[in-house]
Structure 1
């Protein structure tokens, strides 16, 4: 994705099912669990670079000794910072007793995070600030072990105000900025009530069944209690991804299947998906069960996970991204009039590489078909030189653009700053024949279009192509997201701005004011969640009309090279990613009522000139 946006966080949950002596004997280290947690988090580092955190619970601790520990960091490399600190504690311990690693009981007593339950988190800050206080896990402490709770998750909630009201809490400035704080208060509220009703036999499933229906959003959350219960749960629509693996040694859950497979070296079918509305629960004794804690609803798993966010090392995601590119090949071939001889294909940024392979494969399939037809048409009269030329024909692929070192712009003057921004990407000179070759460049998606306009297209034009075609493996992003991705302001979307420009050009700008009044009326009647008003803005235009206007908007002033844009269709997206049909940012079809409220609020903010979030 050329436009930088923040998105889904990453979760890592581990429950060791055997005594620490077992891991020392079988794997050679009492720190096996912590090492696996580190790997599980590192293999998901793409999911959060604003901060990280780890919580640990120790089982069967003598009264008076600490059993719940937590560490968080918002350093530039937060995972490394956390585990460096944990390593220093271990190294310090060994200075006094070099043989202590051979005594698991002593190690557990002296190392703060040598616990049987481990909860790790990687944060992208879509809510709140990037202070370390906002990093997960959050914890609630209590003198009674069962009432201690640590929570971390990949989610956004859009009804935090209602949740605080439910538990009769007047949130402070910190709590107001954190949806996890609201979720924590609600779950802990029911947790305490359950423990009061039945001390010593906490039923976490009943707690989750009471709390989870109150949350409006998409969520994948892990938790551990002070008395040794671990749990992971997923929203009813399966919006956020959730995977788990169990064997005799460990129970593990994470946001990405490939992270579990790599960390534990297991096969694809050994890692299971936690289905919508389900909870994985690990009892104090290590027994595992899967419970349906929410009634499952229509599956709306986030399609952006497949397009961009999840790492492409998962074989299914790799195939789907390749298919996304392949599905675009017909549109691209039409756009270049099937002139592959004078067309060069490339990709920006690196995350679009797999879709690029799919796109070029689609073009190669077409070219091979043409080769076969031509050769067969010659019959027995085959000229060897002509045959050799035909066989050697290839789809032309080049590494056109390279993201340079991370550049920081210190000059605030607009003219000079724009000049500097152009150089975020560098180009490979000599790859394009001046005024002859058409340059086709594929991107994961186009959100704001700012990087394309201010950097990429300007740089590509220096190669003097005959034409530039930007291809998006995702459809037009038209609406905010409120379930994990940091896309909440209408004015940020190039597709929305294109529609507004078209309204102005056609003298229909009054529609915006009419819809604004409609939103205000809905808001007064507490009905803002009932309908997506913004859909009406796009109904006036075809996809092609909006796409052409987007191409105009991302073309820098004064550029003489024609620029076109090609988008994935919704139908092709669903064909490529059949199990992730969550597409509200493209279609406006939100899976929960809170989504409608967010898009309408975002539109109201836009009309009123408020540069604030829609939730």
Structure 2
């Protein structure tokens, strides 16, 4: 999962880009990048690390211009080399920079086709570079010295036809403005907003609405599935649906885990959806364990806090904060490699023994993926003196890998794959274990926007809605995504990053 930003303004935007990326830091902590355009020249800075570590004063001074795009990423399949950091750019036509959030499920096929028919070379393993080259080729095919909005929409239409999967894109075309679009299913989020300044109107495209509101932009609306937006240099906004068939099926895991609670995605408040998840989970506990002996409900900070609060309320038991989080440790789900995840859990959380001693504790997490983190957390609760440790997940069992931009493990590394709930409970060391029902999760989100008829729930039900995902694709993905494969690919990262131009 990544975070993307695009800004077209009437004044320099380097600081605004920086602040927006910082707001979206939760979406990726592996690398960050920004590219701006000033007087026809691109200025780029990207590298591995957090936003605050990648951009220093000397870099910010070089990032001139009133238009730019930015990106934060975490490593997906393959290595986490800084060469994979975004944005990417090509010089022809016009000069194009692009960043994207998501995954192309037919990336290898496109790569081979581009080399055979267009003689285009892809320098990295990133599908973002592939997407950029498809966009560039289709724009070149328009053959226009001064392309009009309809030419850009034709380009996006052809990109959507060629590129399968789930993705949201921001691109900057030298002299012609800012472009954004979503895949025909709207799996990955993208929203745009506007703010008025003395110099004129300014526009932002972002993965989440919180980036807009935090910087004084008024959200206008979400980009629709299969829709493109073009913001010209003089501030004109053009939009068009660029596909004949589209249906909004957003990724439900955005609401479970990835998005900030203060974001609104496709008209749904993430915070309120998580409150409803807690209520639904409490109702399940009451149905299946009416005479429960839970003394206290505790969240695993931070994303499960709203669900835990609502669960405690509906169960009529105390809500307590039993773990203190070290905010200088990254999100363990995003960290590459099992060794780093195991090491980080106890660095990340510390138990308040007074809240555990002699109590029957219900711990609430947003989801259970590998089971490594919750196993260690349950151990910590017992060490702190808990009498019984019960565990609940605001999401159903994660049994399948994600193929649309979330670096879920391969199936055999998922704790719920091939196991029953009692078997999982025994494996992670919980006295009782409760998972959310899928229909309850869907309803928790759908209440916020009843017009959404379907969600991408592939990690729970194995139904992949886009990209012709079959067993062969999943097997190939497993070969690149396993912890063993990542460990092997990360051993050689010594090649100088030729893209890191403002280091």
Q: Do both share a fold (TM > 0.5)?
A: yes
**CA distance 1:598–1:458, shift in 2 (3 Å):** farther
Q: Which of 17, 36, 51 matches 1:78? A: 51
CA contact (8 A) 1:152 1:223 kept: yes
**CA distance 1:15–1:424, shift in 2 (3 Å):** closer
How far 1:205 sits from its partner (Å)? 1.6
1: CA distance, partners of 2:6 / 2:372:
37
**CA deviation vs aligned residue, 1:125-149 (integer Å, no higher than 9, x gap):** 214422222111101014xxx4311
Select the structure that is richer in helix.
1
2: CA distance, partners of 1:581 / 1:180:
24
How far 1:185 sits from its partner (Å)? 1.8
2: CA distance, partners of 1:48 / 1:423:
19
331-340 vs 123-132, greater mean Cα deviation = 331-340
| Alignment match, 1:115 | 65
| Alignment match, 1:374 | none
Q: Which of 132, 155, 161 matches 1:207? A: 155
Matched, 1:354 2:306: yes
Q: Which of 111, 124, 131 matches 2:81? A: 131
**CA distance 1:396–1:610, shift in 2 (3 Å):** closer
Q: Which of 172, 189, 195 matches 2:137? A: 189
CA contact (8 A) 2:396 2:438 kept: yes
Matched, 1:157 2:104: yes
Q: Secondary structure at the match of 1:281?
A: strand
CA contact (8 A) 2:342 2:373 kept: no
2: CA distance, partners of 1:54 / 1:548:
47
Q: Secondary structure at the match of 1:129?
A: coil
| Alignment match, 1:44 | 24
| Alignment match, 2:273 | 320
2: CA distance, partners of 1:457 / 1:258:
33
**CA distance 1:118–1:49, shift in 2 (3 Å):** same
Flag structure 1 segments of 5+ consecutive residues without an equivalent. 1-7, 21-30, 90-111, 365-394, 409-413, 499-545, 556-561
Q: Secondary structure at the match of 2:142?
A: helix
Q: How does 1:104-503 map to 2 (within 5 A)?
A: 112-142=62-92, 146-169=93-116, 174-175=123-124, 177-195=125-143, 198-201=144-147, 203-247=151-195, 248-264=200-216, 266=218, 270-314=219-263, 316-334=269-287, 337-339=290-292, 343-364=295-316, 395-403=317-325, 425-432=349-356, 434=358, 437-453=359-375, 455-498=376-419
**CA distance 1:230–1:605, shift in 2 (3 Å):** closer
TM-score (norm 1): 0.69
2: CA distance, partners of 1:228 / 1:593:
31
| Alignment match, 2:14 | 34
2: CA distance, partners of 1:15 / 1:598:
42
1: CA distance, partners of 2:322 / 2:41:
55
| Alignment match, 1:576 | 444
**CA distance 1:610–1:460, shift in 2 (3 Å):** closer
**CA distance 1:335–1:460, shift in 2 (3 Å):** farther
2: CA distance, partners of 1:552 / 1:258:
39
**CA distance 1:344–1:15, shift in 2 (3 Å):** same
Select the structure that is richer in strand.
2
| Alignment match, 1:367 | none
CA contact (8 A) 2:46 2:85 kept: yes
**CA distance 1:265–1:213, shift in 2 (3 Å):** closer
Q: Secondary structure at the match of 2:399?
A: coil
**CA distance 1:593–1:55, shift in 2 (3 Å):** closer
348-357 vs 202-211, greater mean Cα deviation = 202-211
**CA deviation vs aligned residue, 1:15-35 (integer Å, no higher than 9, x gap):** 12x4x4xxxxxxxxxx4x333
Q: Which has the larger radius of gyration?
A: 1
316-325 vs 327-336, greater mean Cα deviation = 327-336
How far 1:297 sits from its partner (Å)? 2.7
Flag structure 2 segments of 5+ consecutive residues without an equivalent. 331-337, 447-451, 487-503
2: CA distance, partners of 1:495 / 1:184:
37
CA contact (8 A) 2:114 2:120 kept: no
2: CA distance, partners of 1:418 / 1:67:
45
How far 1:433 sits from its partner (Å)? 5.1
How far 1:208 sits from its partner (Å)? 1.4
**CA distance 1:592–1:264, shift in 2 (3 Å):** same
**CA deviation vs aligned residue, 1:301-320 (integer Å, no higher than 9, x gap):** 01111111011113611101
**CA distance 1:213–1:572, shift in 2 (3 Å):** same
Q: Which of 24, 34, 46 matches 1:54? A: 34
1: CA distance, partners of 2:308 / 2:16:
33
CA contact (8 A) 2:298 2:308 kept: yes
2: CA distance, partners of 1:53 / 1:419:
27
**CA deviation vs aligned residue, 1:319-362 (integer Å, no higher than 9, x gap):** 0111101111122235554446x521111132211111121122
CA contact (8 A) 2:30 2:75 kept: yes
How far 1:464 sits from its partner (Å)? 4.2
CA contact (8 A) 1:239 1:582 kept: yes
